[in-house]
Amino acid sequence: MKNKNHSYLILSLLFNLILLIFISPVNRARAKIAFYSILGFSSNTNPPNFRDTVLVSEYKPKSLFESIDARPSKTPSFPIFETHGHLGSFFKSTPEEVSKNMDSLRIEYLINLNLIGGSDFQDVIQKYNDPRIIHFTSFQWDLLQEKDGIEKMLSILKDDFKRGARGVKLWKNFGLEIKKPDKERLKLDDPILEPLFREIENQNKIISIHTADPEAFFSEIDEENERYEELIRHPEWSFQNEKFPKFNEIMEERERMFKKYPKIIFISLHFGEYPHNLQKADDLLTNNPNVNLDIAARIDELGRHPIATKNFFVKWQDRILFGMDGPPDPDKVAIYTRFLETEDEYFDYHSANKPRKGLWKISGLGLSPITLEKIYNGNAKRIFGKK
């Protein structure tokens, strides 16, 4: 009996030892190499040097395929109508710098998508008074909680239109977070907003709307999430929580809103959040003739399926607008123009100082001059009545 216990103990120790050895990837490599060299497949008996673990956030492989941007100039072949600009101290821009960059980057017009209204809006239009800059205002949501909130919002909106606002920017908090006075989530097509939308319609103003966010932000942050690396850096961007509506729920509300106001021209920002699903983007444009898409901050997704995207851009060349999200930036112009104009393959969609939004690279569309001109400026000029 004593002997039997003894041998169990030895066996279990041996088993644990083997387990311990094989837990280490370096030891597993050693064992493999030894095994293959016994079989005569390899004479290299030293395992290579490698780090056991590299965090996804630290994984920055240098591609051996060198994608060279051979263009002599990185400026666009046509003047740009930037429909998704953001200016102001938050974006670290100054009026002088913006105007200077607009000149050098061939930006003919720039829409500044403000979220502020009232006196703050007044300050911005006075500060950024370059006549090429077109200012948008927004709904002042804080007032919604007050008594007669909608009337107060409407009165500021009318003032902002008098001050020269050409349209209204609605941000993603509309749909995701904003609550009604009764604490229910405010839906995109909620009837309480009708007076505001009617005013926009009557004054022929444009709505630029950012709805939801990339669909991956609504999924679990786990090994299957293609934006894992980004979401662990920015967990605050995740909407994977019962607190928030589902992605499709917001998209359905948006569809009803587009249909409810067919006379209002909408710019559905960030490619309507369908850059990864061109069938849905196609349905959106087919079913809603009042809707246009901008490409701002979504070339990362569009450029990973360049052939389908090119076909889509050719088909919908009258409904796609150019936007880069932020103040004029030479690095962004170089990348966006490369994406639209060249057939370059497998290049970074972000500049060196900007982090990735997914572990992939993109390829260019190589659009024709006719399509390019419409996307760069023709479509926006038509919408905004500019020559």
The backbone region for 351, taken as left when phi is positive above 0, alpha when psi lies in -120 to 50, beta otherwise, is beta
Nearer to Zn ion, 273 or 325 (CB): 325
Contact 28, 52 (CB under 8 A): no
Closer by beta carbon to Zn ion, 367 or else 375: 375
Q: At what angle do helices 278-287 and 306-315 cross, to 10 degrees?
A: 10
Beta strands in 124-250 (DSSP E): 133-137, 167-170, 206-209
Amino acid at 380: A
Question: What is the nearest approach in angstroms of Zn ion to the Cβ of residue 181?
Answer: 28
Give the tokens for residue 193: 């907003």
Closer CB to Zn ion, residue 93 or residue 342?
93
Place of tokens 């311990």: 20
> Smaller CB distance to Zn ion: residue 136 or 228?
136
Distance from chain centroid for Cα 85: 14
User: Taking CB under 5 A as the rule, which mask of x and - marks residues 296-325 in contact with Zn ion?
Assistant: -----------------------------x
Strands 167-170 and 107-113: unpaired
Contact by Cβ (8 Å): 110, 369: no
Q: How far is the CB of 15 from Zn ion (least distance, A)?
A: 58
Instruction: Give me the amino acid identity at 72.
Output: P
* Contacts of 159 by beta carbon, 8 Å cutoff, 6+ apart: 117, 118
**Nearest-CB residue for Zn ion:** 325
* Least distance CB 208 / Zn ion (angstroms): 9
Comparing CB distances to Zn ion, the nearer of 208 and 337 is 208
The tokens of 28 are what? 């597993």
The binding track of 322-361 with respect to Zn ion, each residue x by CB under 5 A or -, is ---x------------------------------------
Q: Are 83 and 378 in contact (CB under 8 A)?
A: no
Number of residues interacting with Zn ion: please give it, by CB under 5 A: 1
Shortest distance, position 146 Cβ to Zn ion, whole Å: 27
Minimum CB–partner distance for residue 270 and Zn ion (Å): 8
Taking the complex as a whole, the smallest distance from the CB of residue 311 to Zn ion amounts, in Å, to 27
The least CB distance from residue 70 to Zn ion, in Å, is 31
**β strands within 269-351, DSSP E:** 291-294, 320-321
Q: By C-beta, is 170 or 251 nearer to Zn ion?
A: 170
Phi, psi of 61 (to 5 degrees): -65, 140
Least distance from C-beta 171 to Zn ion, angstroms?
8
According to DSSP, the β-strands at 80-85 and 265-268 are unpaired
Q: Are 199 and 158 in contact (CB under 8 A)?
A: yes
Looking at the Cβ atoms of 44 and 351, the one nearer to Zn ion is 351
For Zn ion, the closer CB: 114 or 371:
114
Beta carbon nearer to Zn ion, 120 or 345: 120
Q: Phi and psi of 326, rounded to 5°?
A: 130, -175
Site for Zn ion in 109-138 (CB under 5 A): none
Residue 323 C-beta: closest distance to Zn ion, Å: 8
Closest CA to 178 of 192, 158, 197, 198: 192
Instruction: List contacts with Zn ion (CB under 5 A).
Output: 325
